[in-house]
Amino acid sequence: MLRRGRASLAFAFGAQGCVFALLVTRIPAVQDRYGVSDAVLPVFLAAVPVLAGIGSVATEHLVKRVRPSRVLRWSQPVAMLALVGAGAGDRMAHLAALMAAFGLAVGALDAAMNMLGVSLQHAYGRSIMLGFHAAYSLGGILGASLAWAGAHWHLTLWVSYLPVVAVLLPATLVGSRWYVDGRGGAAPGADGRAVSGAGVGARLLLPLCLVMTFAYIGDSTVSNWSAKYLQDTLGSSEQLATVPYNVYMVTTLLGRSIGDLGVRRFGAVAVVRLGALVATLGFAVVAGAPGPWTGMLGFTLLGLGLCVLVPQTFAAAGRHALDAGGPGASDAAIARLNVFNYVGFLVGSPLVGALGDAWSYRGAMLVPMTLVLVTLACARSFAVRPDRYGGGHERPRTADVGRGGDGV
């Protein structure tokens, strides 16, 4: 059961990565289709993460009555259908309604996916959270590649989107049969869901919220400014300027694919510290790069460093909350933490852009570098209680999942 639950949840992560990449990489085409002006476009782009934050907060309350697996099962198709609708509509009101639905659904499914991931990691008794986010990165690479193919062949948006959704939507619905919800010792609530009134304290959650925000400021800096920086500041060609984000995505996938092994061997604190140091070095290399190839090296380091921070932040919040009050507390903590994903996304790109225009883009790169470096001061928040995880890193494997072949 755990194996199938893990595989189906990984597929859901990958599907969401693909869908999100299909949207964000074709923003210029969406803008052209609906005649959205450059002045209005930022409003649409900002509205999606704001509504996603609202969706995440709503999910915190929804899962007190409905299992997270059901929230994910029905919010993911809404996001996919909204994507197809955005590719087929032709009026501004249609786009506004569809982006609102997409944002709310993304907030709900992001929160629910990570709730399920944390509960599965708890059941396994060892780090598997980075693997789920690796699936998201793989889906993002696939989605970006499909978007490139659609643009290359001059396909209309709905023609690009419909075949992908036609495959992913039924596949995720079938896979949702095997999602595994958390169980705990708290009193059962509606729908048999275990809930708890206790939660993780602000003293533990606040540092994790800061890490989440700073990580997404760094991520949005790369996604929004890497091409412009390489071309305008480092003097690369237009074609070469498209490469850094692809390199960043690939190294993010690589880092997340092997990151769980690092957590099992060295512990979450060491992995987070190393990730923060590598990301800080990456920003420093980017800021001081004499040419485009050195800048490319910096963006490569950023992918390897930043990739571990977000999955481990969700895992730490869930672990602390499970200790404090069981699955219900864990779900609430993850939903609240997920909001800071969107805060970082909203703040990062405008911050770097404003500093770049007022000062210089080299100088602007030092701001996310400093924020990521602050993560080192928060690293102890990722510590695991030795009495729960043998050797200070992971719980002994025999304690959880050696039953009936449901293990690895």
Quick: pLDDT tens for 356-372.
989 899 999 999 999 99
Counting Cβ atoms within 10 Å, is residue 188 exposed (0-12), middle (13-18) or buried (19+)? exposed
Contact 168, 143 (CB under 8 A): no
- The alpha carbon of residue 342 and the mean position of all alpha carbons in its chain are separated, in whole angstroms, by 10
Q: Does domain 1-179 have CATH number 1.20.1250.20?
A: yes
Strand-pairing partners, residue 194, are: 188
Percent of the chain at pLDDT > 90 equals 69
Contact 278, 304 (CB under 8 A): yes
Please report the pLDDT score of residue 388 as a whole number. 47
Closest CA to 340 of 219, 168, 231: 219
Higher pLDDT, 326 or 26: 26
* CA–CA separation, 161 and 137 (whole Å): 19
Q: Average the pLDDT over 374-382 and give the result.
A: 91
**In degrees rounded to 5, what are phi and psi of residue 250?**
-65, -45
* CA–CA separation, 111 and 314 (whole Å): 10
pLDDT tens, 301-340?
A: 999 999 999 999 999 999 888 877 777 889 999 999 999 9
Query: In 10 A of CB 343, how many CB atoms?
Result: 17
pLDDT at 56 over 90: yes
What distances in angstroms separate CA 153 from CA 16, 148, 160, 161, one per listed residue?
24, 9, 10, 14
Contact 184, 194 (CB under 8 A): yes
Give, as one character, the DSSP assignment of residue 215.
Answer: H
List for the chain the helix, strand, coil content (%; round to 5).
80, 0, 20
What is the rounded (10 degree) CA torsion for 155, 158, 160, 161? Answer: 170
CATH topology agreement for domains 1-179 and 195-394: yes
Please report the pLDDT score of residue 393 as a whole number. 43
Would you list the domain boundaries of the chain?
1-179, 195-394
- The alpha carbon of residue 58 and the mean position of all alpha carbons in its chain are separated, in whole angstroms, by 18
Please report the pLDDT score of residue 248 as a whole number. 92
Contact 226, 244 (CB under 8 A): yes
The winner for highest mean pLDDT among 9-23, 41-55, 139-153, 316-330 is: 9-23
Please report the pLDDT score of residue 386 as a whole number. 55
Reported as a pLDDT band with limits 50, 70 and 90, residue 90 is confident
Q: Average the pLDDT over 111-117 and give the result.
A: 97
Confidence (pTM): 0.88
* CA–CA separation, 19 and 108 (whole Å): 15
Fold of 195-394: Growth Hormone; Chain: A; (1.20.1250)
3-state secondary structure of 384: coil
Higher pLDDT, 131 or 383: 131
**Position of tokens 């997920």?**
338
Give, as one character, the DSSP assignment of residue 308.
Answer: T
* CA–CA separation, 70 and 48 (whole Å): 22
The residue count for the chain: 408
Contact 5, 178 (CB under 8 A): yes
